[in-house]
Amino acid sequence: MLRQLNDVDHRLPLLGETAIGATRQIEALFALTAIIEISDGVKLRAAQRGIDKRAPFHRQRNGIADAILIEVYGDMVKEKPLGGTRFAFVTHNTKDFSHPSRNNKLPHPDLADHFLRSRSVYFTTLGEALRRVQPLHFADLMIEQEWIEEPRRLTEIVGAIDEPCTKIWYNRHQVRR
């Protein structure tokens, strides 16, 4: 545990640079994507999902934005892709999009037809998706890693507060002399 904390201490100065680099890589990926217009057909299918109480409307809330997202995604997957194009749906919203009773890394049964292994993949974390899409670029990406820092003890906090007070007192004492 102590070795792990020391490792974190050594990495902390690099985390800012790593985060900036990772953000640039992710933004570069998104810059290559096309903007998709929402058609009236997509809006109607999303509303029909609500009427049928299918995911993401299976819970007691308005999921029209989520329904539009999944319908647009479904349209993209069903279109004839350019030579070997694969799709990935990434969401942290596991309550609306993931399987309700099994593994949350599986899509909801109402959405399963959009996720065929050969053309479309479902992810619940961005880091996992990026490492799968471009493993060489994102192998060391530190997204969604848990950095657990032990809370400081009261004696450490009091000592940290007392140190500058003592130094200031000593400095003033020396000036007064």
In a domain, 64, yes or no: yes
Per residue of the chain (177 residues), give pLDDT as tens: 444 444 445 555 566 677 777 788 778 878 888 888 888 998 899 888 888 888 887 777 778 888 898 888 888 888 766 667 788 888 888 888 888 888 888 888 888 888 876 778 888 888 788 778 777 666 665 555 555 567 778 888 888 888 988 999 899 989 988
Q: What angle in degrees, to the nearest 10, is found between the helix axes of 40-52 and 64-78?
A: 120
Cβ density class 130-148: b for 16+ within 10 Å, e for less = bbeeeeeebeebebeeeee
- Show the domain range for 111: 34-138
In a domain, 20, yes or no: no
Residues 68/103, Cβ–Cβ less than 8 Å = no
In the chain, how many domains are there? 1
Q: Which two tokens stand for residue 32?
A: 């290559």
Location of structure tokens 């899509």: 107
pLDDT in tens, 144-162: 555 556 777 888 888 888 8
What's the burial of 67, exposed, middle or buried (CB within 10 Å: 0-12/13-18/19+)?
A: buried
pTM: 0.59
66 domain residue, yes or no: yes
Q: What's residue 11's pLDDT?
A: 53
Q: Which whole-number Å values give the CA distances from 167 to 158, 173, 175, in the listed order?
A: 14, 10, 12
144: in domain = no
Within-domain flag for 49: yes
Residue 161 burial by Cβ neighbours in a 10 Å radius (0-12, 13-18, 19+): exposed
The pLDDT of residue 54: 82
CB-CB neighbours of 124 under 10 Å: 20
Which residue has 């997204």 as its token pair? 143
Q: Which string of b and e fits 33-42 if b means at least 16 CB within 10 Å?
A: eeeeeeeeeb
Q: What pLDDT, in 10s, does the model give residues 19-30?
A: 777 788 778 878
Whether residue 128 is contained in a domain is answered as yes
